[in-house]
Copies of this chain bind each other. A is one copy, B any other.
Amino acid sequence: MVTTDEVIDTRRRILDVAARLFREQGYAGVSLRAIAREADMKAGSFYYHFASKEDLVVDVLNEGIRAVRDSVERAMQSLGPDADGSTILRTAVHAHLTSLLRLSDYTSANVRVFGQAPEGVRVKALATRRGYETFWDDLLGLAQRRGGLRGDADLRVARLVIFGALNASLEWFRPDRGSIEQLADSYADLLWRGLRPEALKS
Contact = CB atoms under 8 A, between A and B. Distances in A.
The 10 closest A-B pairs by CB, nearest first: A194-B194, A164-B168, A28-B28, A164-B165, A161-B165, A157-B186, A164-B164, A193-B194, A149-B195, A150-B197
Interface stretch (A36-44, A52-60, A84-92, A95-103): A84-92
Interface residues of A, number: 46
23 contacts: A26-B115, A28-B116, A84-B202, A85-B197, A147-B197, A148-B197, A150-B193, A150-B197, A154-B190, A160-B168, A160-B169, A161-B161, A161-B187, A161-B190, A164-B166, A164-B169, A165-B168, A190-B194, A191-B195, A192-B194, A192-B195, A193-B194, A193-B196
Nearest to A117: B26
Contacts of A153: 190, 193, 195
A47 interface: no
A129 to B, nearest CB: 11
A135 to B, nearest CB: 17
Contacts of A147: 197
A157 B28 CA distance: 31
Given A85-B196, A151-B197, A193-B194, 12 more contacts: A26-B116, A86-B202, A149-B195, A150-B196, A154-B189, A154-B190, A157-B186, A157-B187, A158-B190, A192-B195, A192-B196, A194-B194
A94 B148 CA distance: 29
Contacts of A166: 164
Contact of A168 (B163, B189, B190): B163
Given A161-B165, A164-B169, A198 B201 contact: yes
A82 interface: no
A153 B161 CA distance: 18
A167 interface: yes
B116 A150 contact: no
A20 interface: no
